[in-house]
Structure 1
Amino acid sequence: MSANEAAKLPYQPAHEELHYINRSGWLRAAVLGANDGIVSVSSLVVGVAAADPTPSAVLIAGFAGLAAGAMSMAAGEYVSVSSQSDIEQADIARERQALLDTPEAEEHELAAIYESRGLSPATAALVARELTEKDALGAHVRDELGLSEVHAANPLQAAMASGLTFSVAAALPVLAAVFAPEGRIIPTVVVTTLVALAGLGALGAHAGAAPKLPATLRVLFWGAAAMAITAGVGHIFGVSV
């Protein structure tokens, strides 16, 4: 193969690095849904049990919390991420119009961005010109707005990840209450919840290739605090919360 032919081939990196940032969207929603499912439903079960330890009351509260929470999480994620997506699309539309109205000013703006990142003025101007010729909108969306396919908002993905993981996670404290020995609902649910939270923290960290211990301790601390406060309210006031 000649040097000219080799130069025409697409660029191939010397080595490919494994990154996990492309998981950030669904992973954030999944961890949020699972954590909320475990914490909110277990806190609800513990709070109700502290006020009224009757198994029927505890189970009704648990199943109601699971159903309502799953729908709330899915709807909340969809609405909030849709709002983010609307903002992103509006900014892209404004950038597209600016490129039509003032292309030279937009190219200078792009060059200024590259210069602020450490390139010399001449190199920044050259990079801005070549990227503008290839894909002006893509360059501005990526480097001016800070958006990319990896970080783009995906409402449906977030809603499904959050709602599904909430349902699966919330089922754990409910099942713990169902199979708890008579008069032992609260300790059974608490132990089950703490184990589930520890597993969630470690699993979320593993999925994102992040340190497991800080994630696990963080999830455990806030989950235990939520259950303690809710149980305290239920015990003091004798009402379900």
Structure 2
Amino acid sequence: MSIHVNGSAANQPQSPEDTEFDYSQRAQWLRAAVLGANDGLVSVSSLMMGVGSVKDDIKAMLLAGFAGLIAGACSMAIGEFVSVYAQRDIETAQIKREKMLSQPGNDDQEVIERSEVKLPSPGQAAIASALAFSVGGVVPLVAAAFINEHKKRLAVVVVVAGLALMVFGVVGAVLGKTPVMKSSSRVVIGGMMAIGITFGLTKLIGSDGLQI
């Protein structure tokens, strides 16, 4: 009787485990894409709002946003490259230790190949992060590019940033199978706080006589 139960259990579909495994496999890409897009949107929007708090010139806002876009994309790419490479080195060392204990004298090449299967390529992760950051950062730049009136331009940047943050939060929650309302709310509130703090502090410094 017990043998029959064990056999039937072994033949049962492994869908819950397989599903969990699939999500863990794409967790790094999901993290890089969602965080990159959110960072790009919040960073560029905050820079533009900060400059816009003390300067009416549209060129100053756009230049600040563009510089932030380039700098942020490069920073994300380098950071992701270093992070994935470091994680791969740790995984390689761990696998090597385990194989040395179980089967002394194993080939190092086999160890490296096993570690590379578990982790994405550092180069691919860097490119993905840079592209994700750029996608988020382009949103406020495009929104502000064709609005000449200063106050309307600021309002449009805030509204567009809030809507984009909501979209990114929902997409991240759906792909990661997490609660949509909680995830998107955290993203929107956190992003709006960053934009508001940057705007307020920059305006405060500018109002105290700092010439920009």
Does the CA contact (< 8 Å) of 1:84 and 1:153 recur in 2?
no
**Aligned position for 2:160:** 192
Instruction: Give the Cα separation in 2 of the matches to 1:46 and 1:220.
Output: 16
Give 1:77 shift: 0.6
* Count of residues in correspondence between the two structures: 190
**Aligned position for 2:40:** 37
Does the CA contact (< 8 Å) of 1:176 and 1:192 recur in 2?
yes
Equivalent of 1:168, from 135, 154, 159? 135
Q: Structure 1: give runs of 5+ residues left out of the alignment.
A: 1-6, 102-136, 142-146
AA of the residue aligned to 2:187: V
Equivalent of 1:95, from 91, 94, 98? 98
1:39-70 deviation line (CA, Å, top 9, x unaligned)? 00000000010021211111111111111111
**Aligned position for 1:129:** none
- With over 3 angstroms needed to count, the CA separation of the structure-2 counterparts of 1:92 and 1:209, relative to structure 1, is same
Q: Which structure ranks higher in relative contact order (CA pairs < 8 Å, sequence separation ≥ 6)? A: 1
1:1-241 equivalences in 2 (<5 Å)? 13-14=12-13, 16-17=15-16, 19=19, 20-101=23-104, 152=119, 154-183=121-150, 184-238=152-206
List structure 1 segments (4+ residues) > 4 angstroms apart after TM superposition.
147-150
Give 1:74 shift: 0.9
- With over 3 angstroms needed to count, the CA separation of the structure-2 counterparts of 1:240 and 1:86, relative to structure 1, is farther
> Normalization by structure 1: what TM-score?
0.71
AA of the residue aligned to 2:177: A
Give 1 or 2: higher helix fraction. 2
- With over 3 angstroms needed to count, the CA separation of the structure-2 counterparts of 1:14 and 1:211, relative to structure 1, is same
Q: Structure 2: give runs of 5+ residues left out of the alignment.
A: 1-6, 105-109
- With over 3 angstroms needed to count, the CA separation of the structure-2 counterparts of 1:48 and 1:207, relative to structure 1, is same
AA of the residue aligned to 1:86: D
Instruction: Give the Cα separation in 2 of the matches to 1:218 and 1:229.
Output: 16
Give 1:155 shift: 2.1
Describe the SS at the equivalent of 1:180: coil
Instruction: Give the Cα separation in 2 of the matches to 1:16 and 1:83.
Output: 32
- With over 3 angstroms needed to count, the CA separation of the structure-2 counterparts of 1:202 and 1:208, relative to structure 1, is same
User: Over aligned residues, Cα RMSD in angstroms?
Assistant: 2.8
Percent identity over the alignment? 43
Which structure: larger Rg? 1
AA of the residue aligned to 2:55: D
